[in-house]
Amino acid sequence: MKKIILALAFSGILLAGCGSGNATKDSSSAKEDTAKITAVGSTALQPLVDAAQESYTQDHPNVQISVQGGGSGTGLSQVESGSVEIGNSDVFAEEKDGVDASKLVDHKVAVVGFVPVVNKDVGVKDITKQQLIDIFTGKIKNWNELGGKDEAIQVVNRASGSGTRATFEKWGLDGKEPIQSQEQDSSGTVKKIVAQTPGAISYLALSYVDDSLQALQLDGVTANDKNITTNKWTIWSYEHMYTNGKPEKALADFLKYMTSDDIQSGPVKELGYLPITSMKVERSSDGTVK
């Protein structure tokens, strides 16, 4: 009888041990963060965030990240309202009318240069900044006025909520208002239109520029990494990922990943952006450079 009792007691201990192990495993799984993150806004920043979310979610399958465009204004207004977790923007929140920047936390993840681009057949590669302003304000109407082809200039602009447009107007056009022309809300669409439309001119982030377009020099200065880092080429901006308040858990971890060496030395450079650490100058929301 004693042997039977001892055997039952031993079995009970084993079962209790097995149960304890399962409970610990279940508890550990429950502690893993599961999250859905939506990032909306700048199409100039979109390729970088897309690349980062792809590699991040491979290592964190419990996190779902959706990346959408719509322009910087849309990103800032939606993150302020709490509709999305991240608002991607080419401009400081302080620069956007109707946005309460005090609610938002800025996470700078890269720097992007913008450059005027033209259809490859216009026959012009280098213009002055004043000529650029004159083109976009309608004073210069034909490429032959600049030594190019006898062809009417077709201005393609970005939509009013675009951070790319705000940056280009502020630093490329010295704040001048461009003429009324067709507007597009996607960098990819602008690229396609300029490449296919005779006489077309617009502007794009360097990350979108390839051999299908002619990037213009301004006063002999080329839009490249070296000239952007020293502010010799002034048409650039920080790429911001704004959150409504201080991020936590998976959201905080993903934003930290955006500034990790894996991203800054990988997709940031590969896609035509500049790492934050490469800048030789700093520029504040009011344009002060130091």
Summarize pLDDT for 237-274 with one digit per residue, the tens.
Answer: 999 999 999 999 999 999 999 999 999 999 999 999 99
Distance CA 126, CA 132 (A): 10
Strand partners, 104: 244
pTM (2 d.p.):
0.82
pLDDT at 103 over 70: yes
Q: Looking at residue 32, what is its pLDDT?
A: 57
Which whole number is the average pLDDT over 124-142? Answer: 98
Burial (CB < 10 A; 0-12, 13-18, 19+), residue 1, is exposed
pLDDT at 11 over 60: no
pLDDT at 13 over 50: no
pLDDT band per the 50, 70, 90 thresholds, residue 289: very high
Which whole number is the average pLDDT over 40-63? Answer: 96
Task: Please give the single-letter amino acid code of residue 14.
Answer: L
pLDDT at 180 over 80: yes
Q: Is the dihedral of CA 136, 139, 142, 147 positive or negative?
A: negative
pLDDT band per the 50, 70, 90 thresholds, residue 284: very high
pLDDT at 197 over 80: yes
pLDDT at 162 over 50: yes
Q: State the angle between helix axes of 163-171 and 72-81 in degrees (0 to 180), rounded to the nearest 10.
A: 120
Which whole number is the average pLDDT over 114-140? Answer: 98
Q: What is the mean pLDDT of the chain?
A: 90
Contact indicator for 43, 69 with CB cutoff of 8 Å: yes
Q: Looking at residue 185, what is its pLDDT?
A: 84
Which whole number is the average pLDDT over 211-232? Answer: 97
pLDDT band per the 50, 70, 90 thresholds, residue 207: confident
